Structure 1
């Protein structure tokens, strides 16, 4: 067989179902090989979108999403989405076509050294310079991408190698399980928890990756320790739980700031520093950290680790729970902080002002969705509101990219999420700035017959940047832009499109969008004057 056919066969052997991407001249052999494969190639309208889809697929399934681009501009377009998956710790494999080996020694059409370009944004990458190594390269790419902490890997295939004849076979798949912390470490961790007067759990995305939510719940019920979530850890503990302190992540003060200030121990579980810098919640570095994760903690002066508990998060939480005696705590302060946060959303439930306030949009959205429905937030001012106020009851039901945090992730991500969970409602929450970056993927959703809902928060500007400008300089600079008629634009792709004209119309429009079970875009003007009102309100918080 050709090397490209062997590559595809190895991917099949690894259980790959989809490849997202854009074909090109230098991957003609791969595209031809896919015609005889069980793998479905999903044509996207931009390479960055292909990587966003693959990254979301990886996050939801735990298996690497695979994306493909040709050399040169195709590969550089793909790069942002690959970097996004890598920093969000989503397993992904990127495959790039490449110039033949016979012209890589000189300046050549569309040629860049992609192995060097991709090296900083992947866990591992390699170029296939001989067909004999394909089985090893594919096996290693899958293995490294999924090993904790997961991320992106990259395979570069020159076009002349892709067409060569080869006789080889996929390697046997060997699954590796994480080790567990030693008993002496577990006992020391239990002792630290029992000695703390006001411990606080900081739940990161590693809990979801490790399928450890039930073990977290058992620990919380036994020890009565309150839990605050990072943006990417939302849903690790249901927000219905009385010990859930919802979500932290704003750069400034918030209600949960009081919780961090009162704490004499932060138990960071599955937490990655890219999600929420420790300087924001442990500014003087005085509060000790019990670090429970698959890897030892990054060195940070604001993250003073008292003990590392390393290995399987799920198994180590189980062992900790067995080693701890039931603990009663006075958690009245938890009730106050929690009630303040919940009241903030409740008070906007019946607000009918127009343009619609962010709190009202979130209230209406949450009220029409099931507990297991999936919302994917793009990056912008709406992300801050969604992270802070959209309540989650299950893991991976509010997906927020907060590592690289690239704009444009929501619509491609919603497509992948609907492919993984066709029986759940999937909503992409976008600003008009982020939507315009990958909005062409509406055509992909139509072509694949995927009834996603795009909820567009329209303010004709880069709202998050204006928020920061107003906080720092008290004035805005170069953030406004024009928009198309989003209703006509969406309809031209084949979407149903609905515009919000009154504050009281949003909830019924969302209900209609769910009921018709078709791809729908909702154009919703948003009142971002609430941004600075929130800043002023939080500045007045006294613990």
Structure 2
């Protein structure tokens, strides 16, 4: 037989261009395809909890070593780890759950990712296809269940759909900064899949260009301003030096969101501190006096702190973020890495205003504020004042530490007192503000950056929410230091109820012995009742390179301006 005898007949002119071409071979099972697709997307970790509907996928993960599986104690912790990793690295993160209660347990962590626009891809097992829609155990319509937190959610109904579904969901997460979910019936994991996994495309990371006219108008507005303020968020990370130069050229006060604190020198004369009740009183004063406020890579949310007199310009690559919760004079959609160099050029070319009165006002206001927090943070006594705890952490944290903050009064005290260093990173549950965020976030941070110091700070109310993930840290041999501020209460709620003259029912809690709990998990547990004890134990813990919990007896005092 000649070689030409095996060729497909030529397509007729009216046939589709691919007519007669052989179909791709089905060489991988669905489980193998998923693992390979994630490897090509440079996924390094999957956080999850084992269950009946994901055993086949775990089997495949166990046969390779390109992707690390991190077994967690609770699916909510796994989702918070994925959310934190995505926030910290800017890359897609992945978590895994079984069907029914497994994916339901993940909702809190997925909501955190959704609210803070963290790209997270969720793999959830599902019951067999023959039982879908029935009263089978652990069945629920997972797409409906997760609709409030997922940007897109799909059920795999046939193995041939897997290549398209996975690529679409991964692209959606990466491009939109959203949570996506793929439910895989457990009987389909062994089915053969035709087609090849697709690597991520570099076009997904191409910057958005804003028109030159937009940058020119912004430069003119800033040049004419008498009392400018720059409000910066974590979106300025790649242009922090240019933002600093622009602030200095304009004599503009600089206010930061909590995650952005390290992105502007905290000891700079133009730095006014954080935003809102958790920030500084200096920033509130200067924002109230500003005539132009430019938001760079930040989304404003504390309604009580939105000034009414200023023209607000917001620059963000996410057009949906523009104007959320505040009036908007002008919105600019674009990537700051493209906008800031052009803005600097135009500001250099523009005539310089005499803003010496505004600079004097900034210096006066910020100096008064810094004297105030220095006085607060020098307090002593037992239990330890929370301000002093934050100052001690700031003094001992390394220059490149990753610091994960839980939700509650610890968040407010941290933002009020902590002085961040330029190479540090701060992780926080921004909009969702869930209790229990700090420990899972610290675990993810240490896995992503094994050579960096990682510190978690939580109140006692937040610590108990995800405490068993400390055993995950021990199992993974992660040298995180977890400081639990024990004041015996849900302090934020207690103080707000007291301020309103309400009963404080439910706000006072009886805690376990946190240090003993840490030891029971296989880690190190310490207790500090005085400033000297905490300083000594913190130094010891940070130098030990082991998972350590320090339980600090903390004074239960209200944050200034507390109200219901």
TM-score tier, shorter chain, comes to over 0.9
The verdict on how the C-alpha distance between 1:142 and 1:216 changes in structure 2, with shifts beyond 3 A counting, is farther
Match of 1:31 in 2: 58
Q: 1:119 to 1:292 in 2, by over 3 A?
A: same
2:105 corresponds, among 77, 95, 100, to: 77
**Corresponding residue SS for 1:96:** strand
Shift in CA distance, 349/300, structure 1 to aligned 2, threshold 3 Å? closer
**Does the residue aligned with 1:347 lie in a helix, a strand or coil?**
helix
Instruction: Verify the 8 A CA contact 1:65 1:92 in the aligned structure 2.
Output: yes
1:339 to 2:339 alignment:
no
Could you tell me how far 1:249 is from its partner in structure 2?
2.4
Distance 1:122 1:234 in 2: 29
Instruction: Give the drift of 1:473.
Output: 2.4
CA distance in 1, matches of 2:230, 2:505: 39
Alpha-carbon offset, residue 467 of structure 1: 1.9
Aligned to 1:266: 293
CA contact (8 A) 1:86 1:151 kept: yes
Within the candidate set 416, 419, 427, 1:388 is matched to 416
Residues 328-352 of structure 1: CA deviation (Å, up to 9, x unaligned): 5221221122223322332245432
Q: Deviation per CA, 1:277-333, whole angstroms, max 9, x where unpaired?
A: 3x32225x4422111111335575962222222111221112111111355522122
- Give the C-alpha shift of residue 234 in structure 1: 2.1
For the pair 1:282 / 2:311, whether they are aligned, the reply is: no
| Further displaced range: 169-178 or 339-348 | 339-348
Where in structure 1 are there 5+ consecutive unaligned residues? 539-543
Q: Does 1:307 align with 2:330?
A: yes
Specify the alignment match of 2:5 in structure 1.
none
1:427-438 to 2 correspondences below 5 Å: 427-438=455-466
What SS is found at the alignment partner of 1:304? coil
Q: CA deviation at 1:170?
A: 0.7
The alpha-carbon deviation at position 213 of structure 1 amounts to: 1.7
Aligned CA RMSD, in angstroms, stands at 2.0
Deviation at 1:228, TM superposition (A): 0.3
Question: What residue number does 2:120 align with?
Answer: 92
What is aligned with 1:53? 81
Q: Kindly tell me the number of residue pairs found equivalent between the two proteins.
A: 528
Counterpart of 1:231 in structure 2 is: 258
Q: 1:329 aligns with which of 355, 361, 378?
A: 355
**Cα distance change, pair 486–172 in 1 and its aligned pair in 2 (3 A):** closer
1:30-429 alignment runs, 5 A limit: 30-37=57-64, 38-148=66-176, 150-176=177-203, 177-208=206-237, 211-250=238-277, 254-273=281-300, 276-277=301-302, 279-282=303-306, 285-296=308-319, 298=321, 303-325=326-348, 328-330=354-356, 331-394=359-422, 397-429=425-457
In the other structure, the counterpart of 2:24 is none
Q: Which residue of structure 1 lines up, in the alignment, with residue 3 of structure 2?
A: none
How far apart are the structure 2 equivalents of 1:253 and 1:476?
A: 27
Task: Tell me the alpha carbon deviations over residues 515-535 of structure 1, each in whole angstroms, 9 at most, x when there is no partner.
Answer: 222111111011122x15x23
Cα distance in 1 between the residues matched to 2:424 and 2:543: 23
Structure 1: distance between partners of 2:505 and 2:284: 30
**Contact 2:314 2:323 (C-alpha < 8 Å) held by counterparts:** no
SS in 1 for 2:326: coil
Structure 1 residue 494 displacement after superposition: 1.7
Q: Is the contact between residue 460 and residue 481 of structure 1 (CA under 8 Å) also seen in structure 2?
A: yes
Give the gaps of 5 or more residues in structure 2: 1-27
Structure 2 CA distance, aligned partners of 1:365 and 1:191? 42
SS at match of 2:466: helix
1:41 Cα deviation after fit? 0.7
Deviation at 1:154, TM superposition (A): 1.4
Q: Check if 1:497 corresponds to 2:513.
A: no
- 2:561 aligned to 527, 535, 542, which one? 535
Q: How far apart, CA to CA, are the structure 1 residues paired with 2:505 and 2:363?
A: 41
Partner of 1:448: 476
**For 2:390, what is the secondary structure of its paired residue?**
helix
Contact 2:401 2:424 survives alignment (8 Å): no
> 1:238 is paired with a residue of what secondary structure?
coil
Query: For residues 174 and 516 of structure 1, what CA distance do their matches in structure 2 show?
Result: 42
Given that 1:18 and 1:66 are in contact with CA atoms closer than 8 Å, whether structure 2 keeps it comes out as: yes
- Rounded to whole Å, the distance in 2 between the matches of 1:135 and 1:405 is 35
- What's the CA shift string for 1:161-187, capped at 9, x where partnerless? 222122321124212212211111111
What secondary structure sits across from 2:95 in the alignment? Answer: strand
Q: Which has the larger radius of gyration?
A: 2
From 24, 30, 39, the equivalent of 1:12 is: 39
Q: CA deviation at 1:266?
A: 1.1
The answer to whether the Cα contact below 8 Å between 2:53 and 2:186 also exists between their aligned partners in 1 is: yes
Q: Does structure 2 conserve the Cα–Cα contact (< 8 Å) formed by 1:267 and 1:289? A: yes
Matched, 1:463 2:487: no
Q: Please state how far the C-alpha of 1:51 moved relative to its aligned partner.
A: 0.8
Contact 2:401 2:423 survives alignment (8 Å): no
Partner of 1:541: none
8 Å CA contact retained: 1:297, 1:308: no
Name the CA shift for 1:396/1:76 in 2 (closer, same or farther; >3 Å): farther
